[in-house]
Amino acid sequence: MEEIRRQLEERESFLIRLQEEKKSSLASAPPGSLRVSSHNGRAQYYQRNDPKDFNGTYIRAENASFVEKLAQKDYDKKVLRSIEQELKAIKLYLSSYPQICAEQVIEYMHPDRRKLIRPIRETDEVYIGKWGEISYEGKAFSEDMPEYYTSKGERVRSKSEVLIADQLSKLGVPYKYECPVELKGVGVVYPDFTVLNKVQRKEMYWEHLGMMDDISYVEGAMRKITAYEQNKIFPGEKLILTHETRKRPLNLQMIMRNIQCYLQ
């Protein structure tokens, strides 16, 4: 339910911005409205300045840009009316939205009482705890590999993975490093990170493509992405992709953009 509220608030913000844009557009629009008729299979356009004048003044073909402005004006007016109606509905819904939705009732009860109850949905704390408690065996490190460690003391394979892991930890995003996933037609793969969007309770995979200026690496990366897609794991839906080259290394801004977009 909190996700519904968040989506409505985002929609409200979008509509308010769009409302201002359309008001500005209408303020500079030409006077009158557009009448469109057809003559011998060809459209003819008329400008109506007086509501009582049904026919209006004929607009010559060379004034096509003026016709477009009148058409846009009519469209913008209808869009503005629709925006006003939708904003009214959103405001009404949000104003009557309960402070505590049904799924959250359990969170406001005494811990000892919670133990006696079967809630309609587990609390976020319990759900995240169970998600993190599932044990797995990650991919082994070869003896000659350099050692990189996160702020939590986990060993990873690159400095970039340290950056990603530390930002996930800092922002409270649950993750598992190189947790195995079975892909049909491929077998077991080890995504760099398996991450959890806590709000949506949605599990995603994060692959960092760290050598995109190496042709052989690129070919392998493309095969892996194709394997994900063949298993209905698509970039932007269940798969987060970051990348870098020697000249364009991964940076915190790129990591933050992905976390904010997909995981918060």
pLDDT per residue as tens digits for the range 47-81: 998 888 888 888 988 889 999 999 999 999 999 99
124 lies in a domain? no
* Last-in-domain residue among 96, 118, 151: 96
How many structural domains are present in the chain?
2
* Last-in-domain residue among 96, 127, 153: 96
Percentage of the chain modeled with pLDDT above 90: 81
122 lies in a domain? no
Which domain range does residue 71 map to? Answer: 2-96
82 lies in a domain? yes
Q: Give the lowest-confidence range in 100-109, 147-156, 210-219.
A: 100-109
CA end-to-end distance (rounded Å), the chain:
15
Q: What CATH number does the domain containing 177 carry?
A: 3.40.1350
pLDDT score recorded for residue 35:
93
205 and 257 belong to one structural domain: yes
Pick the closest to residue 249 from 205, 210, 193 (CA basis): 210
Please state at what angle helix 159-170 crosses helix 252-262, rounded to 10 degrees.
Answer: 50
143 and 52 belong to one structural domain: no
Record the pTM: 0.70
- Judged against a pLDDT cut of 70, whether residue 1 lies above it is answered with no
81 and 194 belong to one structural domain: no
* Last-in-domain residue among 76, 96, 116: 96
Percentage of the chain modeled with pLDDT above 70: 100
145 lies in a domain? yes
57 and 141 belong to one structural domain: no
112 lies in a domain? no
Instruction: Give dist(CA 154, CA 137) in Å, integer.
Output: 14
- Judged against a pLDDT cut of 90, whether residue 107 lies above it is answered with no
